């Protein structure tokens, strides 16, 4: 997948002069007008000395990017401040990495690639036309708010590469909303229940394809105004796109999908979502997306009209191409792809 890069350049002298970013360049965003406008606002704010603010929660360095009115417009996550990185500003993760390195992280993920995973999830969301992941792209930013390596008490402020995700306003954590729904059963009408089932199953599709087993109630956001609007946003997708199947990496650790315990995963697929995905997913689409992704089992589940939670019962498989150059031009899956079972002989301890 091709990731869109944007660069902001600034000299150390510019920051000393009132913190203003006087020189910047960017590449155009084709079809991403909303993202482009947010990024331009961030540029203008940086030029006026309005710098990103570190988010206190979380396991890595992530920052609220603000506009000239001091309103949050995006979240920036530098690649060298991720949980595995040396410049991670969160001390608990630093001690965990030093004192308990054997149990730190996940063996199925490449360290310090979370920002690419965040962007990849947004691109997959666009390709599947799910529209539940806030637009995310890879950019380069420089700010004295970020953490830099020091030498003799001095440090040089350089542009950092990371993920730039648009900030969603009016959303709350799923834990807060679910607690409210459990307390007052009348808050969620029948129509809103069906609408949320449709949105929740969209999230299932996304997480299953990118193999994101880190979905929990804090990175699943919901906007609900009773009788008016109900929307869902899936953020924090940095622990997705494993290089190995998570279930065949560790002998002692498991990485289950947590959404299987909710009733919306145990109900049949929403008819509109099922029709949309069955019409969209074909060998050519699989080629365009990425043949390693877990589209095969998803298509099989949709075709058999099974419930979403049955996805976790599917046997892990490895899908490879039968062709070399030509793009698939028929709907015969067996003609273009071969399927074989994964093996668990190379499992590690953690």
Considering the chain, what percentage of its residues have pLDDT values greater than 70? 76
- Cα–Cα distance between 59 and 96 in angstroms, integer? 11
**pTM (predicted TM-score):** 0.78
Tell me, what DSSP letter sits at residue 86? T
Q: If you write DSSP's letter for every residue of 285-314 in order, what string do you get?
A: HHHHH-TTSTHHHHHHHHHTT--GGGGGGS
- 207: closest CA among 199, 215, 196? 215
Q: Tens digits of per-residue pLDDT, 197-237?
A: 999 999 999 999 888 988 999 999 999 999 999 999 999 99
Record the tokens describing residue 343, joined without a space.
Answer: 């093996």
Tell me, what DSSP letter sits at residue 17? T
Q: How far is CA 143 from CA 60, 81, 244, 255, in A?
A: 17, 14, 35, 36
Q: If you write DSSP's letter for every residue of 220-234 in order, what string do you get?
A: EEEEEETTTEEEEEE
Residue 53 — pLDDT band, cuts 50, 70, 90?
A: very high
Least confident range from 52-61, 131-140, 171-180: namely 52-61
Q: Tens digits of per-residue pLDDT, 105-138?
A: 677 777 788 898 898 899 899 889 999 999 999 8
Record the tokens describing residue 345, joined without a space.
Answer: 């002989």
- 240: closest CA among 216, 262, 282, 211? 211
């Amino acid at each position: 997948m091709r990731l869109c890069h944007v660069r902001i350049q600034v000299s150390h002298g510019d920051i000393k002069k009132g913190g203003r970013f006087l020189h910047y360049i960017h590449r155009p965003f084709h079809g991403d007008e909303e993202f482009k406008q947010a990024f331009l606002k961030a540029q203008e704010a940086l030029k006026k000395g309005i710098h990103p603010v570190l988010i206190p929660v979380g396991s890595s360095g992530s920052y609220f990017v603000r506009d000239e009115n001091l309103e949050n417009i995006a979240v920036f996550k530098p690649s060298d401040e991720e949980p595995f990185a040396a410049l991670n500003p969160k001390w608990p993760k630093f001690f965990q990495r030093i004192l308990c390195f054997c149990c730190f992280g996940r063996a199925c993920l490449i360290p310090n690639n979370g920002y690419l995973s965040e962007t990849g999830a947004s691109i997959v969301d666009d390709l599947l036309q799910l529209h539940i992941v806030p637009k995310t792209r890879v950019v380069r930013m420089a700010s004295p708010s970020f953490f830099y390596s020091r030498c003799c008490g001095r440090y040089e402020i350089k542009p950092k590469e990371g993920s730039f995700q648009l900030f969603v306003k009016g959303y709350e954590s799923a834990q807060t909303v679910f607690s409210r729904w459990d307390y007052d059963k009348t808050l969620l009408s029948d129509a809103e229940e069906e609408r949320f089932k449709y949105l929740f199953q969209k999230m299932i599709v996304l997480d299953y394809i990118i193999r994101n087993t880190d979905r929990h109630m804090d990175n699943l956001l919901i906007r609900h105004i009773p009788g008016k609007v109900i929307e869902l946003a899936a953020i924090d997708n940095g622990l997705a796109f494993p290089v190995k199947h998570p279930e065949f990496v560790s002998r002692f650790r498991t990485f289950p999908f947590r959404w299987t315990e909710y009733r919306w995963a145990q109900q049949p697929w929403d008819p509109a979502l099922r029709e949309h995905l069955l019409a969209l997913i074909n060998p050519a689409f699989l080629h365009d997306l990425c043949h390693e992704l877990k589209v095969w089992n998803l298509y099989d589940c949709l075709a058999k009209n099974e419930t979403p939670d049955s996805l976790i019962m599917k046997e892990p498989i490895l899908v490879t191409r039968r062709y070399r150059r030509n793009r698939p031009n028929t709907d015969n899956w067996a003609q273009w792809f071969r399927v074989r079972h994964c093996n668990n002989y190379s499992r590690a301890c953690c």
